[in-house]
Amino acid sequence: MDILNYIDGTLVGPRSDAWLDSVEPATGTVHARLPRSNADDVQAAVEAAERAFPMWSALTAAQRSEIMLAIARGIKERFDELAEAESMDQGKPVWLAKAMDIPRAVDNISFFATEILHTHTRAFETNTSVINYTLRQPIGVVGCISPWNLPLYLFTWKIAPALAAGNCVVAKPSELTPLTAFLFSQICIDAGLPPGVLNIVHGLGAECGKAIVAHPKTKAISFTGGTVTGADIARTAAPMFKKLSLELGGKNPTLVFADVDVDAVAKKVARASFTNQGEICLCGSRIFVQRPIYDAFKQALLREIATITVGDPRETTSRNGALVSEQHLEKVLSYIDLARAEGGTVLCGGERVHLEGRCANGYFVAPTLIEGLGTECRVNQEEIFGPVATIIPFDTEDEALRGANSTTYGLAASVWTNDVSRVHRVARLLESGIVWVNTWLERDLRTPFGGVKSSGVGREGGEEALRFFTEAKNVCIQF
Ligand code: NDP
């Protein structure tokens, strides 16, 4: 199968005729090829976006909303096909793509398509003869670059507010997971999205992604991916004074206090650590447990992890599927080796899983829990982004906070306790953009989403996203 670029309303191959292979991680086989786009393809996409901008930005919010809602309906109509494609490309179970990724893509588009019907701007009455009002105007051509872990989910999370606010977009999904973005381009054509409003260019980050960031006409870049890539993007974009939204890596703490129901919380903590093979930037990878329940909680967690079946993503019985690529598999396994070298004890997992039949060459890793590592060691400092978590005892709230805040990251934390005063104290002191209490991955699309420290700059979600994709212009009138 050939995956094609979506430029100026049409599906086209790369101008250089260079292609990349797309591998199914559950089987290790090539299932498609995709364009290895370069700066020429990006140039064509930017020109198409520039041509479309005057028309798209002049539509009323209601007109843009109508087209976007047609896109959301198009995703629903191809729901099963998209879920199967996401699973094939990324390695996650089909049931998970159906429960999480594809519904969320529908919600992303519908949410911003309707949010723009209810926004307002501000006015300031300076005195009886001077009034100011503030316009929020679309920026123009913007770039959206997304990663491989939640492909369509994160791709639409960026594109939806950009388009809703009246911008035209040049977007690049991860080269590892291009398939649902390609199907999405077909859906946009069928929904009647005018040519050039959205352009999707496939290829390598260092070539095609970099060309989007470096292009002087892309006035804002919304990026989700690794911290090192984010720093590279910032270096390229800063001299051109582009607006930047960077959603980067995490090393998220899970804080379990002694007053919880051990078995019930162990179940939820296992989900928070290992969903999507641990390949969610929000997964809790460092589990801090208060000493009085440490042993009981550890045993309950191990019992829960034992129920996580690793298997063929097509099977409904597989709770975890394959890691996204062979390279990522090697990275995750190397961190498990490092944990042993740093003095950690592997309590469960710790190795590649070899399946039989169709998935014999797939990239599967058993969910792994490690204890005995200090908070400062590399395994507790660096993002692994796989089914690997550490468990660490603590005595006091202060000690738990010191441990939680001890990394350069600050994306999401979860706190498990029934003490309401502690909840408020701890939530304020966690160095983190998101704090979940007695829950995890509970998302309300109106809330600000993003990290502090090395986890990013800026916030997505709700009005934060619409603010990012617009410029404020103040108009002051004397009358
Ligand atoms: P990468 O940073 O490697 O890549 C992200 C995207 O950027 C891909 O589309 C990639 O293309 C592209 N890219 C790579 N290099 C450049 C460059 N120099 N200029 C422009 N674009 C570039 O991240 P991963 O895909 O490996 O995703 C995993 C990371 O994403 C983890 O660190 C995870 O924590 C983070 N993440 C953060 C989230 C958040 O909300 N904070 C949410 C989800 C993930 P290609 O793949 O083709 O190389």
The residues facing 310 across adjacent strands are 320
| pLDDT score of 218 | 98
- Nearest-CA neighbor of 325 among 148, 145, 96, 93? 148
Residues 153 and 201 grouped into a single domain = yes
Residues 39 and 178 grouped into a single domain = yes
Q: Is the CB of 149 under 6 A from ligand 1?
A: yes
Residues 229 and 340 grouped into a single domain = no
Residues 174 and 303 grouped into a single domain = no
Return the structure tokens found at 377. Answer: 């060691």
Q: Give 275's DSSP letter.
A: G
The answer to whether residue 164 sits within a structural domain is yes
What percent of the chain clears pLDDT 90, i.e. is strictly above it? 100
The pLDDT-based confidence of 318 (bands split at 50, 70, 90) is: very high
| pLDDT score of 420 | 98
Q: Taking a C-beta distance cutoff of 8 angstroms, is the pair 27, 362 a contact?
A: yes
CATH number of domain containing 466: 3.40.605.10
| pLDDT score of 268 | 98
The answer to whether residue 47 sits within a structural domain is yes
CATH number of domain containing 274: 3.40.309.10
Atom of ligand 1 nearest to the CA of 173: 9
- Nearest-CA neighbor of 276 among 310, 303, 317? 310
Q: What is the average per-residue pLDDT within 364-371?
A: 98
Q: What is the average per-residue pLDDT within 98-124?
A: 97
Residues 169 and 78 grouped into a single domain = yes
Cβ of 379: how many Cβ atoms within 10 Å? Answer: 23
Active site residue 247: yes
Q: Measure the N-to-C terminal CA separation of the chain; round to a whole number of Å.
A: 64
- Nearest-CA neighbor of 37 among 175, 132, 238? 175
Residues 335 and 392 grouped into a single domain = yes
Per-residue pLDDT tens over the stretch 454-464: 999 999 999 99
Residues 262 and 242 grouped into a single domain = no
User: To which H or E segment does residue 104 belong?
Assistant: helix 102-115
Nearest CA to ligand 1 atom 34: 249
Determine if residue 437 is left, alpha or beta; phi over 0 gives left, psi from -120 to 50 gives alpha, anything else beta: beta
| pLDDT score of 159 | 98
Mean pLDDT of the chain: 98
Between CA 21 and CA 300 the distance in angstroms is 42
Q: What is the average per-residue pLDDT within 129-150?
A: 98
Active site residue 281: yes
Q: Is the CB of 151 under 6 A from ligand 1?
A: no
Residues 386 and 241 grouped into a single domain = no
Q: Is the CB of 32 under 6 A from ligand 1?
A: no
Return the structure tokens found at 217. Answer: 């006409």
Q: Is the CB of 117 under 6 A from ligand 1?
A: no
pTM for the whole structure: 0.96
Q: Is the CB of 153 under 6 A from ligand 1?
A: no
Q: What is the average per-residue pLDDT within 419-425?
A: 98
| pLDDT score of 133 | 98
| pLDDT score of 277 | 98
Count of structural domains within the chain? 2
Residues 281 and 234 grouped into a single domain = no
Q: Is the dihedral of CA 182, 183, 189, 191 positive or negative?
A: negative
Amino acid code (one letter) for 79: F
Q: Taking a C-beta distance cutoff of 8 angstroms, is the pair 285, 378 a contact?
A: no
Residues 326 and 406 grouped into a single domain = yes
| pLDDT score of 336 | 98
The answer to whether residue 450 sits within a structural domain is no
| pLDDT score of 392 | 98
Per-residue pLDDT tens over the stretch 79-104: 999 999 999 999 999 999 999 999 99
Between CA 432 and CA 257 the distance in angstroms is 18
Per-residue pLDDT tens over the stretch 230-241: 999 999 999 999
The answer to whether residue 28 sits within a structural domain is yes
Range of the domain at 50: 5-248+455-478
| pLDDT score of 282 | 98
Residues 420 and 346 grouped into a single domain = yes
Nearest CA to ligand 1 atom 42: 281
DSSP string across 424-467: HHHHHHS--SEEEES-SS---TTS-B--SGGGEES-BSHHHHHH
Among 21, 92, 224, name the best residue to mutate to test ligand 1's pocket (greatest count of ligand atoms within 8 A of Cβ): 224
The answer to whether residue 449 sits within a structural domain is no
Residues 131 and 95 grouped into a single domain = yes
Give start and end residues of each alpha helix (H) in 238-293. Answer: 262-274
